[in-house]
Chains A and B, each alone.
Chain A
């Protein structure tokens, strides 16, 4: 019998694990996140709530010997998480990223050691499945370590696990995800689609008010724009035998377009601006620029009265001040790139440009040619038949949708397309953690002891399965 119900978000850019007691003595406790110890720099380990989904496969000279040790394993020859991402940025031929997108890429053998893509012949490689397995093993070991330290030696292998996958994952990608989880020793598994998990997280975050926010029969658009991918799905709220149920009625394709593309586009725009002034950046400086662009963009988006954010790119050498390059990111640039490029106000009949096929050797990830998320959304909605109602509510998910200005653009487009000015958004929860928390919430709801949803009258609803 499992002691805990666990939700795992095996994300494109980071993984999160949320858990709650399976058989609470009193009221069920809301799910909480597991702190995930990870190597943060060579030879140093710290806990973070997010585990970046990166796998570093270093060569013999890339990291000091023994510097990838974790509290539960002193002999690791690979790294997962923060250090993998940071050090891997300096060693691109050693870094596996976006394994989840590879997992859903039908154009390659997903069980063959093909990553890092384009690495030299003598490099170590892993398959997309193996990368997913390493992330899950890390979560497993972090769990087992944490519980052992707490004097409660309950193993993740024995818990009831709800592992989330994009609704757009094809059966093969789902099967491979299960295969990775099995290889990591996880057995009591249920796959849950991410939009549903996001929805349960929203319900859990608004236990008293959610019933007033939606009605039975409504069609809800889940608009999930994460670090690397965008997914759209439509969920209908139905009532069956007094219980509320969610029915997924439409799923879009897995769109390889996300926040990372936006940050990079901003950085390229600034690099072009600097080049016009005669300053050229090397790769290392460009990475610094991209890093600062992301931070500056977030400050600009969160502070409406800010017009520009200064950006200083430090030189790589120890002489700091003389080599500093100064520029700024303006609000106009952010709006032009993000709103104009990624969230333009397009018409409903405007769909993304079809990507030209570039021969058979085009084997890398099929990134989108058209960055306009609104055009992808219009395509998704117009592909639905007459039986599917146009959404009247939007639930946003994914880190990008934290920016209110971008949510507003999506809402404005939807209102214009539908002719319904009262089309509304559900108040967002914590968009980085929602999917994992929703997974655990769903698990408790399934047991019938989770969210008790009280109606306005004396009736009591349970979330049905």
Chain B
């Protein structure tokens, strides 16, 4: 764009100078009609010359490699929009949010709230599939889990002095001091990350809105 504009300005200047020269020469000849005619011819000649020189410049080059686009002349001024005012959340916000999330992605509340006694196992099983898939995906996204013990369940494990009694729970006849040897009954679960969406509004107790389809 820039090269094109500069070129246009230069061309205009050249045309004016050319015409002025012709006009002065014509006045000296004192033949006004002739001067107009010569003026026109010279203008055309200059224009033709300019076109020949400028042809390649004015035509869009057929380029395969992308060239950076010229910068915009006036960058639009963006006013900073107002930041959201995030209200303080009630202490139970995360619990309610998680319920809403498992309902939204896996229909868990519908499933748990339903009386399943009248249905046969096959029917329940069919309904469980999407509930399971949805809730599993929701957990994997928002609260990914990892087992606490990586050994196979049923294998023998030894707990050394200073083991984390919060993460490993002993049962049976426990006496004396560690090390303790026993059978791993359950590997345990630990949440490895908490990725709950950020709440931009106060979490209320609506965990699944009523749905009305219109029209």
Contacts and interface: CB of A to CB of B under 8 A. Distances in A.
Interface of A: 37, 39-46, 64, 66-67, 69-76, 157, 178, 182-183, 185, 187-193, 247-248, 284, 288, 292, 295, 310-314, 316, 318-322, 324, 326, 465
Contacts of A247: 64
Nearest to A322: B119
Contact of A324 (B75, B127, B197): B127
A69 B68 contact: no
19 contacts: A43-B201, A44-B199, A64-B201, A66-B200, A70-B84, A72-B81, A76-B81, A187-B71, A187-B75, A310-B129, A312-B130, A313-B130, A316-B211, A318-B110, A320-B110, A320-B111, A320-B114, A320-B127, A322-B123
A190 B114 CA distance: 57
A71 B97 CA distance: 18
A292 B129 CA distance: 11
Interface residues of B, number: 44
Given A67-B200, A74-B83, A189 B69 contact: yes
A126 to B, nearest CB: 18
A314 B197 CA distance: 26
Contacts of B101: 41
Contact of A318 (B64, B113, B119): B113
Given A45-B198, A46-B195, A66-B201, A312 B126 contact: yes
Interface string B105-144: 0010011011010010001101101110100000000000
Contacts of A310: 126, 129
B76 interface: yes
Contacts of B78: 185
A378 to B, nearest CB: 25
Contacts of B66: 190-193
A309 B71 CA distance: 54
Contacts of B187: none
* For the complex of A and B, 4 pairs with smallest distance between CB atoms: A74-B84, A43-B201, A44-B197, A69-B84
A70 B86 CA distance: 10
A76 B83 CA distance: 10
Nearest to B133: A295
A44 B98 CA distance: 12
A322 B127 CA distance: 9
A126 B110 CA distance: 38
A320 B68 contact: no
Nearest to A248: B64
A312 B200 contact: no
A320 B123 contact: no
A45 B129 contact: no
B213 to A, nearest CB: 7
Contact of B85 (A67, A74, A326): A74
Interface in B55-102: 64-69, 71-72, 75-76, 78, 81-85, 97, 100-101
A6 to B, nearest CB: 13
A189 B127 contact: no
B104 interface: yes
A324 B68 contact: no
A178 B69 contact: yes
A185 B74 CA distance: 10
Given A42-B201, A74-B83, A188-B68, 9 more contacts: A41-B100, A44-B197, A67-B200, A71-B84, A190-B69, A312-B126, A312-B130, A314-B107, A322-B119
A248 B198 CA distance: 45
Given A190-B67, A320-B110, A321-B116, A74 B130 contact: no
Contact of A72 (B83, B97, B196, B211): B83
A320 B213 contact: no
B81 A73 contact: yes
A157 B74 CA distance: 13
Nearest to A67: B201
Contact of A44 (B84, B85, B200, B213): B200
Contact of A46 (B82, B126, B198): B198
A49 B197 CA distance: 14
A312 B127 CA distance: 6
B103 to A, nearest CB: 10
B58 to A, nearest CB: 16
A319 B84 contact: no
B82 A191 contact: no
B144 to A, nearest CB: 14
Nearest to B211: A316
A316 B131 CA distance: 13
A71 B211 CA distance: 28
Nearest to A45: B198
Nearest to A40: B197
A42 B83 CA distance: 17
B199 A43 contact: yes
- Interface centre among A42, A44, A319, A320, by most B CB within 10 Å? A320
B82 A75 contact: yes
A46 B211 contact: no
A263 B101 CA distance: 26
A321 B124 contact: yes
Nearest to B60: A171
A247 B64 CA distance: 7
Given A189-B68, A312-B130, A44 B211 contact: no
A136 B194 CA distance: 29
